[in-house]
Amino acid sequence: MSLAAFLRRFRRVLAAAIALAAAVTATAGCGAAGGEPYTEDLFAMDTFMRLSAYGRFAEAAVRAASDEIKRLDAAWSVTDGDSEIYALNSFGRAEVSPETLEIINFAVSVSGETAGALDITVYPAVSAWGFTTGEYRVPDDGELSAIAPLVDCGAVKLGETSVELAPGAAVDLGALAKGYASQRAAEIFKERGVTSGVVSLGGNVQTLGRKPDGSLWSVAIQDPEDGERYAGALGTSDAAVVTSGVYQRYFEAGGRRYHHIIDPATCRPAESGLLSVTVVADNGARADALSTALFVMGRQAAETYWRESGRDFDMILITEDGEVYITDGIAGSYTHINTERELIALTAPQRPAQPGVQTEG
């Protein structure tokens, strides 16, 4: 990664970290006594991460969760020659661990539910655009049409302990790995007796319980067009809040901007009219998978999906037209910060709109 790219990413991560409410302020190595969290910062899955927990079990829990994230990163990296995914992509078949089977199985099922908007076999396209290595380039039409037939979730065959790919196919769990990892981190916190904690893995935030003073965690939603501002902030507890957006990873060439969320139907950066999608759900892997899929689908299809999936998640969609759509389950706990954007609540007939949607302030 170039120094400029590193600094850009560092600034973004810093902004995300600061947004994690005033409670998460202690530095790594501080004790967990006196109401201070035990916090560890790490770089894994190609992103900056911060894990914080409160109480007397905090240090052991944070260390164990951090180890688990590093373990998953080592298993799922597309570039690390020792990873399970690297072996699968190189040989077309690999013996894999139960959680690798689980996440691939889950990804394939979300792919089916979202008409292929999430598709882990999009990796050859992600790679052609240089998002894997940071050596960005714009592939020509011929190259993309050669890749297109390889992008198909039907190329993934799951065995009892192994996975097999169709010839030439390759997978990348980047769209949901951080969500799965944040979920695991929260589970480890819980298993180890932590009742209050928060993990932030790039754009993936997962909260456990509430802040020690009983208040909600506040998760800032970045303005996708202005790195210095927040679109809004969301009060949350025991939930994953995951954002996929055009600003997270991109490059510019020939006066155009190309971002890292690829539409599997075109093998090009998705042009769905959205700038960012935030998904709030109980399960981190689901929230992460959906944030990517809904981004590809666009506002209308995302709204239909939300209504038809039993509304077991909530979302915030920020459009190129300057609107912020928010579903009724979270509208009451959202504070709209960038009021230049119009706030529109999505309500469903069965569930009355929550009062307290803030349109200014």
Q: Point out which residues bind ligand ADP (CB under 6 A).
A: 118-120, 122, 126, 131, 172, 174-175, 178, 202-203, 244, 248-249, 260-262, 264, 288, 291-292, 296
Query: Choosing among Mg ion, ligand ADP, none, which partner's interface includes residue 262 (Cβ < 5 to 8 Å by kind)?
Result: ligand ADP
Q: Give the span between the Cα atoms of 328 and 346, in whole angstroms.
A: 6
When asked if residue 291 is in the footprint of Mg ion (CB under 5 A), the reply is: yes
- The residue among 73 and 172 lying less far from ligand ADP, judged by its C-beta, is 172
Beta-strand pair 204-208/217-222:
unpaired
- The residue among 261 and 281 lying less far from ligand ADP, judged by its C-beta, is 261
Q: Give the span between the Cα atoms of 323 and 319, in whole angstroms.
A: 5
The stretch near Mg ion (CB under 5 A) out of 53-61, 140-148, 242-250, 298-306 is: 242-250
- The residue among 94 and 274 lying less far from ligand ADP, judged by its C-beta, is 274
- The residue among 31 and 134 lying less far from ligand ADP, judged by its C-beta, is 134
- The residue among 84 and 172 lying less far from ligand ADP, judged by its C-beta, is 172
Phi/psi at 278 (5° precision): -110, 130
Q: Where are the alpha helices (DSSP H) in the chain?
A: 3-18, 58-76, 84-91, 98-113, 123-128, 141-147, 177-191, 284-297, 299-308, 328-331
The residue behind tokens 């940071």 is 134
User: In sequence order, what are the residues at sequence separation of 6 or more whose Cβ sits closer than 8 angstroms to the Cβ of residue 159?
Assistant: none
CB of 295 to Mg ion, least distance (A): 8
The stretch near Mg ion (CB under 5 A) out of 13-21, 173-181, 262-270, 311-319 is: 173-181
Q: How many other C-beta atoms can be found within 10 angstroms of the C-beta atom of residue 10? A: 12
CB of 103 to ligand ADP, least distance (A): 12
Count of chain residues binding Mg ion (CB under 5 A): 5
Q: Give the span between the Cα atoms of 182 and 188, in whole angstroms.
A: 10
User: In sequence order, what are the residues at sequence separation of 6 or more whose Cβ sits closer than 8 angstroms to the Cβ of residue 240?
Assistant: 179, 182, 183, 204, 205, 206, 279, 280, 281, 282, 283, 284, 286, 287, 288
305 close to 315: Cβ distance less than 8 angstroms: no
Quick one: DSSP state of residue 309?
A: T
CB of 176 to Mg ion, least distance (A): 6
Query: Choosing among ligand ADP, Mg ion, none, which partner's interface includes residue 203 (Cβ < 5 to 8 Å by kind)?
Result: ligand ADP
Q: Give the span between the Cα atoms of 15 and 220, in whole angstroms.
A: 9
CB of 205 to Mg ion, least distance (A): 13
Amino acid identity, position 279:
V
196 close to 211: Cβ distance less than 8 angstroms: yes
- The residue among 190 and 268 lying less far from ligand ADP, judged by its C-beta, is 268
278 close to 291: Cβ distance less than 8 angstroms: yes
- The residue among 44 and 53 lying less far from Mg ion, judged by its C-beta, is 44
CB of 287 to Mg ion, least distance (A): 8
CB of 60 to ligand ADP, least distance (A): 28
The stretch near Mg ion (CB under 5 A) out of 29-37, 255-263, 285-293, 303-311 is: 285-293
When asked if residue 175 is in the footprint of Mg ion (CB under 5 A), the reply is: yes
When asked if residue 292 is in the footprint of Mg ion (CB under 5 A), the reply is: yes
When asked if residue 100 is in the footprint of Mg ion (CB under 5 A), the reply is: no
What single string gives the DSSP state of each residue in 4-63?
A: HHHHHHHHHHHHHHHTSTTT--PPTT--S-TTPPEEEEEEETTEEEEEEE-STTHHHHHH
Query: Choosing among Mg ion, ligand ADP, none, which partner's interface includes residue 119 (Cβ < 5 to 8 Å by kind)?
Result: ligand ADP
Query: Choosing among Mg ion, ligand ADP, none, which partner's interface includes residue 297 (Cβ < 5 to 8 Å by kind)?
Result: none
CB of 92 to ligand ADP, least distance (A): 19
CB of 125 to Mg ion, least distance (A): 16
Using CB under 5 A, list all residues that contact Mg ion.
175, 244, 288, 291-292
